[in-house]
Amino acid sequence: MTAAQQVTTPLIDARNIHTYYGESHVLHGVDLVLMPGETLSLLGRNGMGKTTTLKSILGFVPPREGQVAIKGIPVAKRRPWQLIRQGIGYVPEGRGIFPGISVREHLTMAARSNDRGETLWTLERVLDTFPRLGQRINHDGSFLSGGEQQMLSIGRALTTNPDLIILDEATEGLAPLIRDEIWKIIRNIQASGIASIIVDKNIDNLLDVADRHLLLVKGRVVYSGDSHGLKADPSILDTHLGVA
């Protein structure tokens, strides 16, 4: 096989996924493919299925129909620690910070090298990236401010040295200055070669950062393409997000 013929395996390859909560049919044939190093945004109004798409591809809410492969391996129902082993850092809606556990413990409990044995994100590098966490290192994680908890959640994901980081509403409810800090960090993560899937309400930042976008309406993908395509036809965002 020549170099030109070599095919890179997608980090995530989800085809025609249908997901239900009980009898409620929420995703109707979603396709999502993510290549190594790529940044994908998942857009859509409240309740359109963004979080469910993430939980479906991660195996927390397994689809009833369709296939999901992570790094070429088909996915069944999964527990969070299995994700970490596959090189996926998940920053869930609501942050997932545990009461009674210190900042240091949050940043060391899941720490690991990547599959290639590299530790690009050490505790020291995470603390350099988030100096506020260093100042609170012995505090109970649940006593931090919302912005600090978000940083802790992202920092914890980085200590697992992931190939992919998934951020579900990482800037939700934060003060503007803290939001700007988080976006700066998202750009740093992207520059370091880690792929990401980002759900966020700030469209301008997403248009700026993401290589591609998927726009969901009632569990169906109505747009898949790059920022150029979205900017070229403002009616897409206007119709489906209420922003132009």
Ligand X SMILES: Nc1ncnc2c1ncn2[C@@H]1O[C@H](COP(=O)(O)OP(=O)(O)OP(=O)(O)O)[C@@H](O)[C@H]1O
Residue 50 touching ligand X (CB under 6 A): yes
Residue 46 touching ligand X (CB under 6 A): yes
* Closest by Cα among 89, 79, 95 to 121: 89
Q: Angle at Cα 68 formed by Cα 87 and Cα 167, nearest 5°?
A: 50
Place of tokens 């006593």: 143
Nearer to ligand X, 50 or 106 (CB): 50
Q: Which of 10, 49, 87, 155 binds ligand X (CB under 6 A)?
A: 49
Residue 21 touching ligand X (CB under 6 A): yes
List the single partner that 48 binds among Mg ion, ligand X, none, CB under 5 to 8 Å by kind.
ligand X
Q: Cβ contacts of residue 11 below 8 Å, gap of 6+?
A: 34, 35, 36, 38, 70, 71, 163, 164, 195
- The interface region with ligand X, picked from 45-53, 121-129, 177-185, 235-243 by CB under 6 A, is 45-53
55-114 residues near ligand X, rule: CB under 6 A: none
- The interface region with Mg ion, picked from 51-59, 69-77, 216-224, 228-236 by CB under 5 A, is 51-59
List the single partner that 26 binds among Mg ion, ligand X, none, CB under 5 to 8 Å by kind.
ligand X
Q: Are 197 and 34 in contact (CB under 8 A)?
A: yes
Q: Are 76 and 27 in contact (CB under 8 A)?
A: no
Classify 221 as helix, strand or coil. Answer: strand
**DSSP per-residue codes, 90-115:** EE-TTTTPPTT-BHHHHHHTT----T
Place of tokens 């299925």: 49
Residue 26 touching ligand X (CB under 6 A): yes
- The interface region with ligand X, picked from 9-17, 19-27, 96-104, 206-214 by CB under 6 A, is 19-27
CB of 54 to ligand X, least distance (A): 8
CB of 52 to Mg ion, least distance (A): 8
| Cβ neighbourhood burial of 7 (10 Å; 0-12, 13-18, 19+) | exposed
> Total residues at the site for ligand X (CB under 6 A)?
11
CB of 220 to ligand X, least distance (A): 12
CB of 221 to Mg ion, least distance (A): 16
Nearer to ligand X, 32 or 123 (CB): 32
Q: Which of 51, 86, 129, 160 binds Mg ion (CB under 5 A)?
A: 51
Q: Are 111 and 155 in contact (CB under 8 A)?
A: no
List phi, psi (to 5°) of 2: -80, 165
In the complex, the residues that contact ligand X under the rule CB under 6 A are 21, 24, 26, 44, 46-52
